[in-house]
Amino acid sequence: MNHTPEQLQILLDIATEAAMAAGVVLQNYLGKLEEIEEKGRPGDLVTAADKAAEAEILAVLRRHVPDHQILAEESGQLGDKSSEYLWAIDPLDGTTNYAHQYPFFSASVGLIIGGVSTVGVVFDPFHNELFRAARGLGATRNRRPIGVSKTTQLSKSLLVSGFAYDRRETSDNNYAEFCHLTHLTQGVRRSGSASLDLCHVAMGRLDGYWERGLSPWDVAAGVVIVEEAGGRVTAYDTSPLAIASGRILATNGHIHDSLSTELLQVPSMAAWSSDVVKNSV
């Protein structure tokens, strides 16, 4: 489905209104939470701030695009399932950070059209950073153009990753990958907000990001922001990204193939005994 720049701009402005309305709620609740619930898995938290921020986003979308489909982290699937337009929203990405008042969290509003991440807005209200992109219109931070880093070597790169809430239930938990890449690079950060991790790759603050166990609302906005900033986003093996797979590899483009190669040949956790580690550095 083709859209004119004017049509995309309208959708981008709707996403911006929604993400910023959520951001106001997040700032208001910060440090004032009375109750923090676990959603099922240990560590998977939900707060009044997640719910109130989601309500703000839903109100904006219902006002402007009542016939579109919505996938919202706290409310699930809403709206017309036959619509080509799917809004994937995470009202508070980084809930664990937020609950501890660790200032790395955001509201993320992405629009997938015909299966393609097309519009994305991620708002970090604590640092007042607004990341936006629409396909073909470029990516911005606080309305100024942004671009990915120029780092070409994995050994000179700074990466980021994360661990899903099922990490205690599966050996496919990203621990071995994290160790392996920590050895090969200048560092791997675990910041705790997938959407902001992607924006920091788009800004060139980080050179690459990978993670498994994600949901569409974690990455729908960030994918288009990275790509419009000149980066590359694929599956781990560099095949086209399948958002429903929950696995993503996003980089500045230059280190993409080498990071993919390393992710596909990670030594098992058993290899991380102190002897092996000692001999490999």
Nearer to ligand IPD, 72 or 113 (CB): 72
- Binding to Ca ion (CB under 5 A): which residues in 67-126? 73, 90, 92-93
Contact between 211 and Ca ion per CB under 5 A: no
Q: Could you tell me which stretch among 37-45, 132-140, 200-208, 211-219 binds Ca ion (CB under 5 A)?
A: 211-219
Helix (H, G, I), strand (E, B) or coil at 30: coil
Contact between 54 and Ca ion per CB under 5 A: no
3-state helix/strand/coil string of 114-153: CCEEEEEEEEECCCCEEEEEECCCEEEECCEECCCCCCCC
Helix (H, G, I), strand (E, B) or coil at 87: strand
Distances (CA, A) of 40 to 23, 37, 51, 181: 26, 9, 16, 30
Nearer to ligand IPD, 85 or 210 (CB): 210
Question: E-strand spans in 8-84?
Answer: 36-38, 45-47, 69-72, 76-78
Contact between 218 and Ca ion per CB under 5 A: yes
In the bound complex, what is the minimum distance in angstroms from residue 45's beta carbon to Ca ion? 9
In the bound complex, what is the minimum distance in angstroms from residue 260's beta carbon to ligand IPD? 20
Interface contacts to ligand IPD, rule CB under 6 A:
90, 93-96, 162-164, 192-194, 211, 213-214, 218
Helix (H, G, I), strand (E, B) or coil at 271: helix
74-88 burial, b at 16+ Cβ within 10 Å, e below that, comes to beeebbeeeeebbbb
Nearer to ligand IPD, 130 or 164 (CB): 164
Dihedral sign (CA 146, 150, 154, 158)? negative
Position closest to ligand IPD via CB: 162
Find which of Ca ion, ligand IPD, none residue 253 binds, CB within 5 to 8 Å per kind: none
In the bound complex, what is the minimum distance in angstroms from residue 82's beta carbon to ligand IPD? 28
Residues in contact with Ca ion by CB under 5 A are 73, 90, 92-93, 218
